[in-house]
Amino acid sequence: MSTYLADAVKNLSVTGPSTVFSYRRLGPQGGVPLVLLHRFRGTIDWWDPEFLDYLAADHDVIVFDNVGIGYSGGEPRDSVEGFADGAIEFIEALGLPLVDLLGWSLGGIVAQEVARRRPELVRKLVVAGSAPGGQIPDAPALSEEVVRIMTKPEADADDLLYAMPVDADGKPSGKAVALNNEITDAPTYSGKKILYLSNGKLRLLDRGTKATTTVALDPATERRVPTSTVSAT
């Protein structure tokens, strides 16, 4: 059974003009809330509960699924501007006059767009493992395999492991981690979906019950997932 407080937080809902949003809220309320914006294809189930617990020790933390993502209704947006529209709609639906934003990966790009369009709504902005958005000069193109994984209706464990780890030189490994056979031979690992791999632990989601568990890996066979750098303005 999980020992993280974030795993015990219930789903809440709030209705905006275009849809009903699902969200979770934890930590002491009364100050400026910290709203988290997720990565590409991420949902509220994919946030690391240890990370959420750490933030919620001193902050009013809110995670949510954008329009058409995860537990939220509506048609998914297909642009940064559309995701920013959804984030603004959610914040306003909660009646929040001012927030801090933390955006990870695609969420960081969306957070910047929210702050650009609605500066009076954002007190502080944290951009984690992200970019300015748009085309970055001289950036390498994504490989066909990465594009295939990104556009699959549902990525499996092998896809996740392919996309994330690096080799000894810090370059994409191409075929992920040398995990023990029990895990690599079972992409869903006893019917549970792999959420992420980090620091010798495999985070799993039960598709039916939505319960999460953590499985320790053998350090001798694990290849570490790179840690994203964080910048704040």
Query: Can you give the three-state secondary structure of 38-63, one letter per residue?
Result: CCCCCCHHHCCHHHHHHHHCCCCEEE
| pTM (predicted TM-score) | 0.69
pLDDT tens digits, one per residue of 6-24: 888 999 999 999 999 999 9
Position 37 scores a pLDDT of 95
* CA distances for 32 relative to 82, 83, 208, 219, angstroms: 25, 22, 35, 40
CB 225 within 8 A of CB 217: no
What is the residue-averaged pLDDT of the chain?
74
Position 78 scores a pLDDT of 83
Q: Report residue 42 as tokens.
A: 């991420």
Domains of the chain (ranges; CATH) run: 5-128 (3.40.50.1820), 144-226 (no CATH)
For 163-172, what is the mean pLDDT? 48
Q: Report residue 132 as tokens.
A: 């300015």
Q: Which of 2-16, 62-76, 85-99 has the highest mean pLDDT?
A: 85-99
Position 92 scores a pLDDT of 97
Position 62 scores a pLDDT of 97
Higher local confidence (pLDDT), 112 or 148: 112
